[in-house]
């Protein structure tokens, strides 16, 4: 079976500044793939290209075996910082993608309400984002992303700003959401443990201009538990990834 | 009630100042032709209320009409500036230059063109209020987070959808800041317009009072003017609460 997404020899330069060296990667159906790399290495640029708001310099992107030019609307993209619309309630935020697609207000509201209930956020349905904790805001943003495009998510460090405990809850919650919808996920992080806990495969990126240094498979069983992180397998993997990241800094 | 308590110190201070004023006039036996006591101003208002009310209404209507025109024009201009870089490049410098024209010099011209009707006054209020509203609204749209715009673009939102979903609501808090400034200018704008010529309004009344050395009535008008401004300000704060509920 062909992969859900395959990126072939993608490069990107801003003027004379090369940001993405030569990126080739694949994400299979329902696979969770993480990208880790030093900050400022161009990970977010890669996502901007996939989300269709930036154009690649060379290379091609193949989605479900079709070469795709206009990528807008083809992924559920979640930007790095909390991007909930402050002037919309939780429900209105979650239904945003459907409204843009032209789904009627009542249908969109129904679906958003149902989704919030399913993932235990119904108590906040009429709140404005500013009244929610950071962890809750990210969950709402995730549900918005899922409702817009459940089959493929691009998540750019969604838990980067959360404290360790909130982050662990949110990570397991995310796995639950992805499992429910059978989503393929491409996930940016610079937290090695996070990458191990969530992913099926991990790509390690170099410093700018970003290139893929290594591809690592995570063979921990699913469903994932926090205790998996302390197994010898996971610890060895963590050491390996840490060493790789140290190298990229040179 | 809590909100009211916030203003309590300044209300107290104002009351104390009025008492001091009253006492000074009383102790030094100052001629009411020069400086009338607050109590005299108050009783003068009661005595002239029936005559004053039509003047107040005229000024209020001019102010509100001018303010509404300024809002419509200002919002429209700000959106144009946002949507088209060409318009922005062409119009923005001119807008700033237009602010160097003294309104007080324009007032007689407007009177010549439009006569003694309320139109010249409405135009002056509009001119005075237009700039702060436009700049604040344009600024507010500029300040909407790039992440949100990027997100909407990735969802394949059209330019108009981005405008209505993000830029217009996102600009509302700034818009209301601009509107508060504009409101503070607006009543004064209407009075300046009336000063130049007209049949009715607080500006005319004040001028007549000054010409007949009825200093106490000048004070009555000054206080009414400032009360009108406060009222307008309060109304805008209330509107802001209704239209910007996510800020509370």
Cα A138 to Cα A13: distance, rounded to the nearest angstrom = 31
Could you tell me whether strands A152-156 and A76-78 are parallel, antiparallel, or unpaired per DSSP bridges? parallel
Q: What is the pLDDT of residue A143?
A: 95
Length of chain A: 250
Contact B246 A52 (CB under 8 A): no
Contact B246 A79 (CB under 8 A): no
| Minimal-distance CA residue of chain B relative to A102 | B157
| pLDDT over threshold 70, residue A66 | yes
What are the sequence ranges of the domains in chain A? Answer: 5-249
| pLDDT over threshold 90, residue A38 | no
Task: Per residue of chain B (248 residues), give pLDDT as tens.
Answer: 566 788 899 999 999 999 999 999 999 999 988 999 999 999 999 999 999 999 999 999 999 999 999 999 999 999 999 999 999 999 989 998 988 988 888 889 999 999 999 999 999 999 999 999 999 999 999 999 999 999 999 999 999 999 999 999 999 999 999 999 999 889 999 999 998 888 999 999 999 999 999 999 999 999 999 999 999 999 999 999 999 999 86
| pLDDT over threshold 80, residue A3 | no
C-alpha distance across the termini of chain B, in Å: 16
pLDDT tens sequence across A164-220: 889 999 999 999 999 999 999 999 998 999 999 999 999 999 888 889 999 999 999
Contact A130 B166 (CB under 8 A): no
pLDDT tens sequence across B1-19: 566 788 899 999 999 999 9
| Minimal-distance CA residue of chain A relative to B244 | A87
Task: Answer yes or no: are the C-beta atoms of B55 and B45 closer than 8 Å.
Answer: no
Return the residue in B155, B159, B173 with the most chain A beta carbons within 10 A, the one to mutate for interface testing: B155
Contact A72 B245 (CB under 8 A): no
ipTM value of the model?
A: 0.91
Of residues A75, A100, A129, nearest to B161 (C-beta): A100
Q: What is the pLDDT of residue B198?
A: 86
Contact A48 B150 (CB under 8 A): yes
Neighbour count for residue A139 (Cβ, 10 Å): 24
**What residues pair up with A66 in beta bridges, in sequence order?**
A63
pLDDT tens sequence across A109-149: 999 999 999 999 999 999 999 999 999 999 999 999 999 99
Q: What is the pLDDT of residue A42?
A: 85
Selection from A97, A96, A74, A183 nearest residue A148 by Cα: A97
Contacts of A77 in chain B (CB under 8 A): 151, 154-155
pTM (2 decimals)?
Answer: 0.86
Which fold does the domain A5-249 belong to in CATH? Answer: Rossmann fold (3.40.50)
Task: Answer yes or no: are the C-beta atoms of B138 and B81 closer than 8 Å.
Answer: yes
Contact A100 B151 (CB under 8 A): no
Selection from B114, B125, B126 nearest residue B77 by Cα: B126
What are the sequence ranges of the domains in chain B? Answer: 37-247
Q: What is the pLDDT of residue A25?
A: 94
CATH second-level architecture of B37-247? Orthogonal Bundle (1.10)
Spacing of C-alpha B61 from chain mean position: 12
Contact B156 A130 (CB under 8 A): no
Residue A64 banded pLDDT, cuts 50, 70, 90: confident
| pLDDT over threshold 70, residue A50 | yes
Of residues A52, A87, A130, nearest to B154 (C-beta): A52
Task: State the residue for tokens 């609460």.
Answer: B241
């Amino acid at each position: 079976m062909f992969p859900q997404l395959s990126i072939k020899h993608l490069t990107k330069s801003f003027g004379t500044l090369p940001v993405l060296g030569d990126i080739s990667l694949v994400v299979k159906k329902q696979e969770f793939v993480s990208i880790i790399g030093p900050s400022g290495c161009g990970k977010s640029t890669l996502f901007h290209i996939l989300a269709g708001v930036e154009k690649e310099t060379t290379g091609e992107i193949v989605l479900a075996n079709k070469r795709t030019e206009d990528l807008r609307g083809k992924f559920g993209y979640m930007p790095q910082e909390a991007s909930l619309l402050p002037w919309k309630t939780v429900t209105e935020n979650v239904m945003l993608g459907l409204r843009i697609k032209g789904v009627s207000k009542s249908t969109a509201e129904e679906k958003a309400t149902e989704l919030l209930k399913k993932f235990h956020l119904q108590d906040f349905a009429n709140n404005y984002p500013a009244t929610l904790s950071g962890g809750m805001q990210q969950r709402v943003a995730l549900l918005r992303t899922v409702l817009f495009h459940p089959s493929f998510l691009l998540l750019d460090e969604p838990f980067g700003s959360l404290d360790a405990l909130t982050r662990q809850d949110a990570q397991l919650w995310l796995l639950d959401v992805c499992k429910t919808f059978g989503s393929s996920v491409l996930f940016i992080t610079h937290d090695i443990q996070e990458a191990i806990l969530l992913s099926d495969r991990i790509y390690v990126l170099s410093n700018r201009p970003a290139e893929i240094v290594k591809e690592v498979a995570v063979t921990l069983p699913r469903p994932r538990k926090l205790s998996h992180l302390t197994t010898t397998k996971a610890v060895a993997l963590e050491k390996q990834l840490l060493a790789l990241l140290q190298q990229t800094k040179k | 009630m809590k909100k009211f308590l916030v203003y309590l110190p300044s209300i107290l201070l104002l009351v104390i100042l009025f008492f001091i004023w009253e006492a000074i006039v009383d102790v030094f036996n100052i001629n009411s032709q020069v400086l009338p006591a607050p109590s005299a101003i108050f009783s003068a208002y009661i005595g002239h209320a029936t005559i004053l009310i039509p003047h107040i209404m005229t000024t209020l209507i001019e102010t509100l009409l001018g303010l509404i025109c300024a809002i419509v024009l200002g919002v429209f201009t700000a959106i144009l500036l946002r949507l088209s870089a060409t318009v922005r490049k062409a119009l923005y410098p001119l807008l700033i230059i237009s602010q160097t024209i003294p309104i007080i010099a324009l007032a007689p011209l407007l009177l010549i063109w439009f006569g003694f009707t309320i139109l010249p006054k409405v135009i002056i209020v509009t001119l005075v209020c237009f700039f702060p509203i436009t700049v604040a609204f344009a600024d507010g749209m500029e300040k909407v987070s790039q992440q949100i715009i990027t997100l909407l673009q990735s969802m394949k939102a059209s330019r108009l959808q981005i405008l209505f979903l993000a830029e217009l609501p996102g600009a509302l808090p700034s818009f209301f800041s601009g509107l508060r400034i504009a409101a503070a200018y607006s009543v004064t704008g209407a009075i300046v317009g009336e000063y130049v010529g007209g049949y009715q309004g607080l500006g005319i009344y004040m001028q007549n009072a000054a010409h007949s050395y009825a200093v106490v009535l000048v004070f009555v008008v000054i206080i009414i003017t400032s009360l009108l401004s406060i009222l307008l300000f309060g109304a805008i704060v209330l509107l802001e609460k209704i239209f910007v509920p996510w800020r509370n």
